[in-house]
Amino acid sequence: TETDFKDQWNKLSASGAQVDSMVLLVHGGKRNDIEGELYFTPDKQNDGTLSTEEIQSLPKLNYSSEGNIDIRACNSGLGEMSVGLNMAESQGVKTKSMAGYAYFSESPSEYKGTGASSSSMYLNSYERRSNVGLFSIGSGNSMPPVINTPKKTP
């Protein structure tokens, strides 16, 4: 739930633990043409949508000098205020995010459907119809992630 996510984020912040690398596996993208949201199961305390403002209000974690966040959520790298850019700026850390809709695949470099017998599974954006347009089926190749580096403050 969104509440669980916020609670765990706050506990990590309060612990002061150094973060070298973080991977977020969550639903994300746009809703009503608003950029930069993450989606969770709603509960009695939260509506399930972590908005741009809520992302910005998350406490800044204690990142190492090489700290980074890998955001595995659909469309998390797209838009003027994408989740990736928002987290890079508000957390002061480099982010890597999805350049389109994310799919599970047996291969990191090209889309290969997964099933119960899959021995490997990767979550990436691939050049498939939803990422390249209705009139193209796409190559199936992995799409490079969007990298955001926070602006240096003077």
Rounded CA-CA distance 37/72 in Å is 13
Give the DSSP H/E element, type plus range, for residue 32. Answer: none
SS3 assignment, position 17: coil
Report whether pLDDT(154) > 50.
no
Distance CA 59, CA 90 (A): 9
CA angle 76-139-32, nearest 5°?
30
pTM (global) more than 0.85? yes
Instruction: Please name which of 45, 48, 90 lies closest in space to residue 71, comparing C-alpha atoms.
Output: 90
Residue 138 is predicted with a pLDDT of 84
Of 27-31, 33-37, 42-46, which range is least confident?
33-37
Res 16 pLDDT > 80: yes
Task: Give pLDDT tens digits for 50-100.
Answer: 999 999 999 999 999 999 999 999 999 998 889 999 999 999 999 999 999
User: Which of 65, 70, 62 shows the shortest CA–CA distance to 15?
Assistant: 62
Region 127-152 average pLDDT: 87
pLDDT bin (cut points 50, 70, 90) of residue 130 is confident
Q: What is the pLDDT of residue 79?
A: 86
